[in-house]
Structure 1
């Protein structure tokens, strides 16, 4: 399936990892919400740039998506499920550098074990972050050493589960006096929601439904435009 993933993404080309610009689509927490949620979304004086890694683990039994559960004591999104990643630092050359650096710091995954194959749409969060999701293939075996200050747990979810349309739900709840809707992937006892779920929906839009071609190879339908 790794070959099919590579075909679905544009690869690591110069300029494609910019947060915004020609040909770069933008999504965010506002999607699917009306004007009545304007007070829910922060509008900081300057957008804070960030990047995350969307690690697709190429296991013999099937591709998985690696996720983290953030430590509960963290001020921002404590206890929530997320991709490894964080803010862009001055020394980072691009979003790929940010995503790989943060992933190594958070879970101990070496950048040498990640094959960057492309990106998802830039995602604007309610809290004012502009996030570039970098998609990477990871081949076992690998050794993880999570930073206990930032990460409570690292776990994997089958990609087949994520791609199944029946796995995602659109839910809503009242927040700051307004109904806010968002994507959710309930998985066993896990509750994957918010920006992470929104990025997973984007991944589903890119990959579509896996199928076997007449030549006997795994591919996805529909392909990325």
Structure 2
């Protein structure tokens, strides 16, 4: 049983109000997505600790895709993953050393499509008890925690833009201290924020 039943109730209630799927292009109405595109299934873990912190990572600067960006633990679904929840749990174990037995999955948010053609399903879960954080060498530069109620407060989100493929692409950001949370991670958090504040 979760040490903070109110936290479990808040998250479960939010999941029951989940909206529609999102994408990296939500704020850019003029972008035409290719028809017939094939999206690769993936999952991320929105792991919420008993102190109401969300575990996040800063990706290695050496990675080919999204170097140095803030991300949830997660990745593509492997053939050995029976479900997307299994994929999120496996990736969280590999990336941050989170034992599966410390995780209580509560449900999933609608999927999010990325510019790199992934269909990411965010799995919301409670992290029960302490564990030794181990950053996966070569992929994770840093593991940190951000307060759930800060990064799901609609007032803390901003819309910013940068040039992408010749046009200005707009996206959500939700800064926390020295961490610039943007792109898919911020858009997924924005979706959770909308559910938690309905």
Q: Which TM-score applies when normalising by structure 2?
A: 0.89
Take 2:115 and 2:86, find their aligned partners in 1: how far apart are those partners?
24
1:25 aligns with 2:20: yes
Checking the alignment, whether the CA contact within 8 Å between 2:154 and 2:190 is kept in structure 1 is no
1:180 aligns with 2:169: yes
RMSD across aligned positions (CA): 2.3
Checking the alignment, whether the CA contact within 8 Å between 1:33 and 1:181 is kept in structure 2 is yes
Take 1:76 and 1:153, find their aligned partners in 2: how far apart are those partners?
16
The equivalent of 1:6 in structure 2 is 8
Q: Would you tell me which structure has more strand in proportion to its own residues?
A: 1
| Pick aligned residue for 1:64 from 53, 61, 64 | 53
Take 2:4 and 2:35, find their aligned partners in 1: how far apart are those partners?
39
Checking the alignment, whether the CA contact within 8 Å between 2:109 and 2:124 is kept in structure 1 is yes
Q: Deviations over 1:155-174 (max 9, x none)?
A: 00111211333211011122
Q: Deviations over 1:10-46 (max 9, x none)?
A: 799xxxxxxxxxx9831111112122x33xx677852
Checking the alignment, whether the CA contact within 8 Å between 2:53 and 2:148 is kept in structure 1 is yes
Q: Deviations over 1:168-215 (max 9, x none)?
A: 10111221111111000111111000000001111111212xxxxxxx
Take 2:179 and 2:109, find their aligned partners in 1: how far apart are those partners?
23
Count of paired positions: 194
C-alpha change, 1:78 and 1:104, in structure 2 (3 Å) is: same
1:113 is displaced (CA, Å) by 0.2
Unaligned stretches of 5+ in structure 1?
A: 13-22, 209-221
Checking the alignment, whether the CA contact within 8 Å between 1:10 and 1:117 is kept in structure 2 is no
The equivalent of 1:111 in structure 2 is 100
- SS of the aligned residue for 1:9 comes to helix
| Pick aligned residue for 2:64 from 75, 81, 98 | 75
C-alpha change, 1:24 and 1:161, in structure 2 (3 Å) is: closer
Take 2:5 and 2:22, find their aligned partners in 1: how far apart are those partners?
27
Deviation >2 Å, runs of 4+: 1-12, 41-46, 163-166
C-alpha change, 1:136 and 1:130, in structure 2 (3 Å) is: same
